[in-house]
Each structure stands twice: as C-alpha cells, then as structure tokens.
Structure 1
Amino acid sequence: MTVPLDYADPAKGTTRVAVARIPATAPGRRPLGSLLLNFGGPGNRGIASLAADPKAFAELGERYDLVAFDPRGVGLSSPVSCGGNQQTGDDVPEDAASQLAALRAVAQRCALHSGPVLPYIGTVNVSRDMDRIRQALGDRKLNYLGFSYGTRLGAVYAAQFPKTTGRMVLDGVDTLSEPLAEQALVSARGQQRALDNFLTWCAHQNGCVYGTNTRTAREKIEELVERLDARPLTGTDGTHFTGQDAVGAIGAALYSKTLWPDLAEALARVERDRDPAALKELGNPPEGETDDGPAKIPEDNGEAALTAVNCADDPDRSNDEATPHAIAQEIHDLEAEFRRTSPVFGPGQLMTVLSCYGRPAGTDFIRRIDRPGAPRMLLVGTRGDPATPYEWTEETARRLGSAVVIDYKGEGHTGYTASACVRGYVHDFLTGGRLPAGTRSCPAGE
C-alpha cells in the first residue's frame, strides 16, 4: 500500500506499507471480515511473525481473513537502520559530555541510514496506516488483536478512530502514560518479579543449581552477573560472555514458562562448567527462514525501529537542553532506586533513560488519551509478565474507560497462546461479540 509520509502534510511524499492476508479457511460459515494482527515490538515484522506460526490463530482464521503488516520503518515497509548498531563504541571517554556527544552522533547516524521515513514513524502514524488498511480491505470497522506493543497501537487507533473501532483485544498491555524513568523502573520490577517466580519454581525441581532456598538463589544470580562482568567467559567461538549478556539471556527466557527448564539447565552449565553456550543461545534464538526476495532488510532494523518508535511516542524522552552535569546527576540520583528494585535488571533499565538523547521530542498525543469513546474492548494482563507488568493493564483499562480485563494468573509475556481460558474469552468476543462485565480471572496452567 502507498500511504502519506506525513498525514498532516501529504505533499511531503509517500511511503510503502507491506500487507499480507491468509483468507478464511471455512468459507461455508458466515465470514466476519478481516482480523488485523500486530505481534509487538516495536520493530517486530508482522508478516514474518504470522507466516512463522499461522496455526496459533487457526480457529480465528476459520471465519476471519488473518491480516498482518510490517509497520512503516519495519521489515518490508521502508526499513530504518542505524548503519549496523546503536553502540557508541569503547573508545569514547567516560566523562558525561563525551558520552552524550557520542549518543547524539548515533542519532545522526540513524537519520543518515534511514532515509525520509524516519521522522514519520511512530504509533500515531502507524495507527493511521491501519485505517488505510481497513479501507483497502473493505471493512466497515477494524477488528484487531494486538500483543505487547501492539496494545499501544490498538489503543491509539481507538483514540483516533473510535467510530471505526470494531472488536479489539489487547494482550500484554503496554503503558500509555508513564514517563520514561517510571516506565523503566516498572519494567525492572516486572522482570525481577518474573525472575523470582522462576527461582521459586527452580527450587522445587530436582537438581536446581541454586538449591532450595529462593533467597540465597537470588543472591547467587546477582553474584553471577557481577562475576561475569568482572571476568567474562569465553565461548567456543572466541567471543566474550559478560554479566550483561547473561542478564539479556535470562530476561529473554522469562518471556515464556516453557523456556524455564532450558534456563535452569543453561544456568547450571555456566555455574558448574563455566560454559556459556546454552545461556547465550537462549539470548539469541535461531532465526527462521528470511527469504525476502529483492528486498534488503538491514540486520539492525528491529533494534533501530524499536528505539525510533519509542522516541517518537514520548514527549519526555529528549533532554538535549540539559547540561551534561545535570544529566549525569539525574542518572546518579536514580541509580540507587533502580538497584533496590532489581540488582539484576535495574542497571540496564536505568540506561534506557538516555535511549533517545539527540532525537527530537515525541508526540504528547498518547499521553493525553483519556476515555476515547471507543466501543468496549478486551484487555488481557498476565500476573508474571516480565515485559508488560500487570499494573499497566489496570492503568490502561482506567485510561480507556470501556475495557474488560482478563486477569491471567500465569507466567510469561502475554496470555493468548499460554492459556486455553484466555483464548476462550478472546474467541467468544472476536467471533461471537460476547464480552463479560468487569474483571474475569484465568488460573495459571489453564
């Protein structure tokens, strides 16, 4: 599809958005039109995600055409890039002024490699693209299932287009209002909660490397991170594996409870054999086939789009006018609270406060969403979610004003694929229009 770069000024040019559809598989039953899906991110490729696992949505796909798209700036839709990565380099002096200058240089490099679409990506414009997709599909209203970041996208669509919002389900609900520092702090708290739940589970398994005492197990994880940061392990490929590499791998494995046995085994191999291979693999799962034909998608596209969209969505993320001393003091003042919240995840989350330095301030539209007048929708929150803590489900439900909440008592990120109970509520709503009143619970493991 061809869409305007800037909806406020169409004369600035156009960009292309890639869309894919799987037709409904039970044409003999009454069709329900199209169901648009977004699998999160920001930066996730929607078309590749649906193609990788269409069976997960087979029941919905009986009566809906399943539709996926790569949001502008992502995948097959004018992908953005930072020329390889967003690292500042090891040769930058450690003083605040030099570090901030290096961050500004990274932002400039992203602009250079991304082309004209970069200033116009972000959730507000992507939601407008979604309405163009709805029109192209011939649907009177947009029926939608969004996961993680896709919940932010759905909420913004409902705020902009309440009259064309159809049946909408948001699973793994993102925040709409918290400033960056508070987002990072809540994220660290959610990750630590998920880690504690994993360690409690591990303590009840035979052979858990950290034993049966969850308090000391937590201390040993913290010691592992500190030890690997001081003395990284060397993998069979010659690369170093640091404590922060371990944090990233542990965080990735906490996304699904099905990965907990693998995480327990990987940690045992690190502790007993000083072998980081299994833990490294958890942090970098093998990718599927990526035959994109003539299109060339930069390897750093997902990371570049993640940063660009988050920066475009938040008015508080740019503090270029502050002095280097003031910014260094801000980080110093926050550090103790982040470490108290999570010695493992807090330090890394703290540094996201600077992720948008050198970029323009984002829109305040999302911050101002308040009871958009859209039809009632269904929100799913998971109690042990490490990426989108349950508190955000409650917060967003209050902001939207017309939402029904499914309180899933399980672990992992999002509930649809993990819980038959959650799927039951989702399918009842999307295929039958049945929506309960108030909050409903789904137990863990069902």
Structure 2
Amino acid sequence: MARRLRVLTAMALLALAAGSCTFPSNPTLQPHTERQGPVGPVPASLDRFYGQELAWGPCSNFATSSSDRTAFQDPELECARLEVPMDYAHPEGKTIRIGVLRKPATDPRSRIGALMMNPGGPGASGMSAAASLSTSVADTEIGERFDLVGFDPRGVAASEPAVRCLTDPERDAERLDSDADTSPSGVAESEQEEREYATKCAERTGVDVLANIGTRDVVRDLDVLRSALGEPKLNYLGYSYGTRIGSEYAETFPGNVRAMVLDGAIDPGQTTVDALVAQGAGFQRAFNDFAAWCAARAKCALGNDPSKAVQRFQDLTRPLVDDPVQAGYGRELSYADATMAAIQGLYAPTLWESLDSGLAELQQGRGQTLLSLADSYFGRDAAGRYTNTTDAFDAIHCVDDKRVLNPEEVRAADRRYREAAPFLDDGNPPSSARDMCAFWPVPVTGDPTQPQVGQLPPVLVISTTADPATPYEAGVQLAQALHGRLLTYEGTQHTVFLQGVSCVDEAGTNYLVDLQLPPEGARCSG
C-alpha cells in the first residue's frame, strides 16, 4: 500500500505533445527588465514582492530535462525568475525563486492579458507545459490575444531550491522494488524504506523548504506573479492537480479572478482514501475501454475476449514480482514498472498502441516498450537522468493531504483499491504498510475541504466522462462548489482542452476571450 499511495494518489500529469522544433530564424525578443507591479490589492508586508522587477531573457538556462533543452531554444520564448518568501508568515526571512516562462501574445493590439497555467502533478513543470502548448496555440485566438505563461511551482523543476529526495541511480533501484510482500516482515521492510526516503528528502532538500512546499503557498506565489506581470485580474488554466491550485486561489483571492478554466478536476472535498479509490476505479474503466479496443484488432496481447483481459494482464505481469525481465541496456522491467507503464498507457487512446505492443513484447519475455512507457511517466531520459517530478509530488502530497496513519485503515484502503482496480491487484493480501508521509518531518498544511469562494466570477470546469486519473464526478462536484459552469466531454482520456477537440476548444476559447460560458448541460464528443 505504501507504494500505491505514493505513486497513484492524484499523480495526474498532463500529456502535451512536444510540438514542432522548427524555430523562427530571426529572434524577436531581446533580454529586458520590466516593473509592472504592484497591481491590485497587496497583502501586508509584501510590497517588495508584488512590485518587483522581472529580468526577462533566453530560456535555455532554465531547462531541467532533455525535452526542455530543445523546446527552450525557441527565441519567441522568454524566461525570468520571480522572488517570493519561503514562509509567508515571515516575509523578511529566506526567499525562493520561481521559474517563469512566457510566450507573448502574437497580436499585441488585441491583447487581453496573461494566461497563466499549471499542467498538474503535483510536481509537473508549468514552464515545460507552456513551451509545448505555445506551438499548438500560436495561430489561435488564445495565442494571439494572451501571453501564455507557465510557472514552475516552488520546489519544482527550474524553481530554486528544487526538491530532491533520490539520486538517479537510487530512483532506478527504487523502481525495481515492487514492495509486494505484505507479510509482517515485508511490511516492516517497506516502512523502513519509506522512513529512509523521508529522511533523504529532508537532508537533501531542507526541512524549511519541505514545510512550505504545499498548495497553500503556491497560490500566494501565483498572486505575486499576477501582480509582477501587471495583471489586475488573473486568467488561469489548470489541468489535473492544477485545478486544485485554481480552486484554492479562487477561495483565497476571489476578487482577483477574471477567468479560470479547470480541466480534469480534483474534488477538494474528498478524503485521501476516497480520492485514491475513485482514481483506481477510473483507471479500471480506462483499462476496460482499452481491452475492448484491443479485442477488436486482428492481434491483441490480451486476447479477443474483453471479459478475460484482467486475468490475462495479471497472468502477464504478476510473475514480474519475483522475476523481472530484460529490457535492454542492462536494465530490467519490474512488476512496479509494468503496472506504471499500463497506467501511463491508459492516459489517452493515442498511447494504447504502445501499451498493446509492450504487452505483446512481455509475452515474449522482453520489457523494452513497457519500460519506456514507465520512464516517460517518471520523467527519466535515455541518459538515465530524472526530472524531480516524483520527488516534488511526494513532498507536496505529504503536506497537502491528510495522512493515513492507522495500519488497519491503510489495509482497508488497499483492499478497497484492489476491488476498484482489479487489473492492478498483484495477488497478495492487502498491505498495512504506511507510505512516506507517515514519517514526514513536517506537518500537513493543506485543508482539503470544499472551497468557500465568496464573490467569484463564473468559472469553467471541464470534465471527461471516462477520465482515468481525475474521475468525471470530481468535475461535477468542483463546478458546484465554485458555482461555475460544467462542460462535459464524452471520451476516455485525461484532460482535453487545447488538445484538438474543436467543440471543447471553441467553448474554452469563447469563455477566456469573451467571458461567454457554454450553455447549461453542454456536452462535447470527439
């Protein structure tokens, strides 16, 4: 259970296409400084942060991954660092620096403002996501009328200091350990590993950073960024965990919102366990859809009877608990990585072909494709370097969400999860092993309750009927809590706005540009 709580709870990353890497030959942006703030209300003692100068320049030095090193060479992108207090209760103390990337609006005469975005995680890079998304919106009304702004939340990617828990070789080793033994000795071993993990995070990151890494603080950083960019009101696009940032911002600064699109919602009122189980059920529905699609093919690794797909998947993957298979380049595919590969493959139908190919390879005793899918999930490149997404996810999760500390509650949660997602059941009894959050060195700072939003302008919540990672009902609940408008997309994928579905893209664009909401009960399909 320890590993399951760590890896699956709301680990919902937006999968954006990398886009073209053909950049303009004549750079149009030059290094410069801007002082646009303070704009709007300034909380006490924060004047210097809200009115700070931003030094904009090339983005190459901000890259923290191999894909960034290519995408950030685009001369139409510019980057800066935003200084914010480490602890807002003591703004005179230590500060941290937030990485910010901007693609200016291509039609300055009709510019509305900045559209700030977060892609999810928690722990995913908003700078990376904005760079990727900028290519697909370049010739749209969004790209023409908004500066697209991505920021790396505190502790994430290019923000300084960044959360670090494991070295690259330690992360490789950790992925080989499936933690499937649920005997008393196995539970003790798992919990010792979780305790050591928490200790490493504290030693390598700093307890003061971990204590101030949560969403509570990220939303205050976002308001500082709004002011420093000279924006009287916030325009915001949040995917997945980014919807939690959006809903907490709406509760904290309702009067500072102009427009907010929240796609792939996290229900802020759900308990940690209920959210985990709902997500497991979502992945099971996506697995069933994948199995039906696969069964209609001439050759399918799970066979041509969808009702037997769960059993066939278990038959393929469970032996990996004791006997990993070779995956090339001196690496092995573990049970943990095989199941994470399946989860990655279920995020969107565009990945189903790769998942089927990987399972077919596994039938032949090879694990290359599945390991590649798992590497993509964990942010590992071909050189063996990891982004800090997983480290940051763990750190944020442990301070945002109520911890499950009672071993019997953990066991009951694991039982419920296995029932909700039987394809991920490894065949062992439910485990009582607590995850790293039980041993975390700082207290919880989050308050997962339904937001009380006051005078909030209407917001748009988009929810997909068969979203595997953030179930549809969570979007229904969030729209109600924020007194917003729900747009339903009928499909099987995680998030949808600005990903090529014209009905959704038009509705979201009309809202962001003209503040025109879709009609009540609006639905779209692919």
TM-score by length of 1: 0.88
Work out the CA distance in 2 between the residues paired with 1:143 and 1:254.
30
> Which of residues 393, 396, 411 in structure 1 aligns to 2:492?
411
Deviation for aligned residue 1:151: 0.7
Please name the residue that 2:6 is paired with: none
Q: Deviations over 1:45-75 (max 9, x none)?
A: 1112222342223221100111111111011
CA separation of 1:12/1:358 partners in 2, compared to 1, >3 Å: closer, same or farther?
A: farther
Instruction: Determine if contact 1:15/1:117 at 8 Å carries over to the other structure.
Output: no
Please name the residue that 1:380 is paired with: 462
Deviation for aligned residue 1:317: 1.1
Q: What are the residue-to-residue correspondences of 1:250-399 with 2, within 5 Å? A: 250-271=342-363, 273-285=364-376, 299=386, 301-314=388-401, 316-317=402-403, 319=405, 327=407, 329-345=408-424, 354-359=435-440, 360-399=442-481
Work out the CA distance in 1 between the residues paired with 2:381 and 2:386.
14
CA separation of 1:288/1:346 partners in 2, compared to 1, >3 Å: closer, same or farther?
A: closer
Work out the CA distance in 1 between the residues paired with 2:375 and 2:176.
21
Deviation for aligned residue 1:351: 8.2
Instruction: Determine if contact 1:7/1:125 at 8 Å carries over to the other structure.
Output: yes
CA separation of 1:232/1:154 partners in 2, compared to 1, >3 Å: closer, same or farther?
A: same
> Is 2:516 aligned against 1:425?
no
CA separation of 1:89/1:228 partners in 2, compared to 1, >3 Å: closer, same or farther?
A: closer
Q: What are the residue-to-residue correspondences of 1:132-281 with 2, within 5 Å? A: 132-271=224-363, 273-281=364-372
Work out the CA distance in 2 between the residues paired with 1:351 and 1:175.
26
SS of equivalent to 1:407: strand
CA separation of 1:288/1:364 partners in 2, compared to 1, >3 Å: closer, same or farther?
A: closer
SS of equivalent to 1:356: helix
Amino acid of the residue matched to residue 277 of structure 2? L
Work out the CA distance in 2 between the residues paired with 1:44 and 1:233.
30
Gaps of 5+ in 2: 1-81
CA separation of 1:301/1:351 partners in 2, compared to 1, >3 Å: closer, same or farther?
A: farther
Please name the residue that 2:129 is paired with: 49
CA separation of 1:375/1:51 partners in 2, compared to 1, >3 Å: closer, same or farther?
A: same
Q: Which moved more, 1:300-309 or 1:33-42?
A: 300-309
Gaps of 5+ in 1: 291-297, 320-325
Instruction: Determine if contact 1:181/1:353 at 8 Å carries over to the other structure.
Output: no
Q: Deviations over 1:95-130 (max 9, x none)?
A: 545543442332121011113422111111111000
SS of equivalent to 1:211: coil
> Which of residues 435, 439, 442 in structure 1 aligns to 2:521?
439
Amino acid of the residue matched to residue 136 of structure 1? A
CA separation of 1:88/1:189 partners in 2, compared to 1, >3 Å: closer, same or farther?
A: closer
CA separation of 1:171/1:53 partners in 2, compared to 1, >3 Å: closer, same or farther?
A: same
CA separation of 1:411/1:13 partners in 2, compared to 1, >3 Å: closer, same or farther?
A: same
- What value does the CA root-mean-square deviation take over the aligned residues? 2.7
> Is 2:88 aligned against 1:3?
no
Work out the CA distance in 2 between the residues paired with 1:352 and 1:174.
25
Q: Which moved more, 1:258-267 or 1:423-432?
A: 258-267
Instruction: Determine if contact 2:101/2:130 at 8 Å carries over to the other structure.
Output: no
SS of equivalent to 2:259: strand
Amino acid of the residue matched to residue 338 of structure 1? Y
Deviation for aligned residue 1:139: 0.8
Q: What are the residue-to-residue correspondences of 1:49-68 with 2, within 5 Å? A: 49-58=129-138, 59=140, 60-68=142-150
CA separation of 1:336/1:237 partners in 2, compared to 1, >3 Å: closer, same or farther?
A: same
Amino acid of the residue matched to residue 309 of structure 2? A
Please name the residue that 2:220 is paired with: 128
Deviation for aligned residue 1:227: 2.4
Work out the CA distance in 2 between the residues paired with 1:262 and 1:73.
32
SS of equivalent to 1:3: strand
Sequence identity (%): 34
Work out the CA distance in 2 between the residues paired with 1:362 and 1:165.
27
Amino acid of the residue matched to residue 388 of structure 1? T
Instruction: Determine if contact 1:73/1:80 at 8 Å carries over to the other structure.
Output: yes
Q: Deviations over 1:144-194 (max 9, x none)?
A: 111111111011111100000111000111121222211111111111110
CA separation of 1:288/1:67 partners in 2, compared to 1, >3 Å: closer, same or farther?
A: farther
Work out the CA distance in 2 between the residues paired with 1:106 and 1:37.
31
Please name the residue that 2:156 is paired with: 74
Please name the residue that 1:294 is paired with: none
TM-score by length of 2: 0.75
Aligned residues: 426
Q: Deviations over 1:69-96 (max 9, x none)?
A: 1111011112111142575997999354
Instruction: Determine if contact 1:184/1:352 at 8 Å carries over to the other structure.
Output: no
Deviation for aligned residue 1:361: 3.6
Amino acid of the residue matched to residue 35 of structure 1? L
SS of equivalent to 1:384: coil
